[in-house]
Amino acid sequence: MQPHLHPFQSFITTAITHIQEDPGTVGLAAGGSWASGEVDAYSDLDLVLVTSRKIAPDINLMQEYAGKLGLMVASFRGDHVGEPRLLIALYESALLHVDIKFLTPDEFHNRVEDPIVLWERDQALTNIIQQSTAHYPPFDFQWAEDRFWIWAHYAALKVGRGEFFEAIDFLAFVRNAVLGPMLHLKNSSLPRGVRRAETTFGVAELTQLRKTVAMPERAILLSSLWEVMYLYESLRDVLVPAGFQKNSAAQLAVTRYVAGL
């Protein structure tokens, strides 16, 4: 069942009215919280706009098209997340945050989820969804292990030098790139950083995760770093697949280094 929060529904109804007038538009779909049924008053709207002509990554064409869907007060391309086909926009009506991914029909085959089709021409999007399979990028445990102990040492260097704010930012990066995804996997959910951590993780897990959040003080940062290392190790030893190569030498060396600070 599709969510029917008024601001979203009103925006989508208006958007569909406009895109139907463009014969080059193949269809419009919604992913994210709309597709999963988790929409609330604070959700953004994740749209997939499929057109026969290639619009992305031309920022001018993307903004021109998005500007027809409503009064857009600001927008930028998703280069920072490695997705130049994504336009992140803010619309004045109800101050909606809308992410619009511009795809061609061929590109729509490769997707991370099956969105809800909002409008389509000649069942084009439905047919593609039925003929192909969505694949969410898996978490690479070996990728994490190969980097984690270097990252932990780097955070320790920042604490040792007194660059406390940089250390805080770096621990937040590790939490989002490694710890959050692993906790999600432990809870049988997609490895999406720390997204919806408060409602997905268990009470004990959230307590552990809170301990990794630091203030710009040496003792607190060192304590948080220890918690990051402990939580990673405990999750790793439960979740890693067969064939995983643990870097025990790096772990021991970094543990000794942090203990000496």
Q: What confidence tens digit (pLDDT) does each residue in 38-82 have? A: 888 888 999 999 999 999 999 999 999 999 999 999 999 999 989
SS3 91: strand
Looking at 67-196, list the stretches that DSSP marks H as alpha helix, in order from N- to C-terminal side.
Answer: 105-108, 124-131, 141-161, 164-174, 180-186
Q: What confidence tens digit (pLDDT) does each residue in 115-130 have? A: 999 999 999 999 999 9
Q: Is the pLDDT of residue 1 over 60?
A: no
> Hey, where are the domains in the chain?
6-131, 141-259
pLDDT, residue 146, reads 98
pLDDT, residue 34, reads 82
- DSSP for 4-30? --HHHHHHHHHHHHHHTT-TTEEEEEE
Instruction: Tell me the two tokens of residue 137.
Output: 């990028």
* CATH T-level assignment (fold) for domain 6-131: Beta Polymerase; domain 2 (3.30.460)
With a pLDDT cut of 90, the percent of the chain lying above it is 90
* CATH T-level assignment (fold) for domain 141-259: Four Helix Bundle (Hemerythrin (Met), subunit A) (1.20.120)
Mean pLDDT of the chain, nearest integer = 94
pLDDT, residue 2, reads 46
Instruction: Tell me the two tokens of residue 176.
Output: 């989002």
Q: Residue 6's pLDDT band (boundaries 50, 70, 90)?
A: low
Distance, in Å, from the CA atom of 211 to the CA atom of 186, rounded to the nearest integer, reads 19
| pTM score, whole prediction | 0.87
pLDDT, residue 131, reads 95
Q: Is the pLDDT of residue 166 over 80?
A: yes
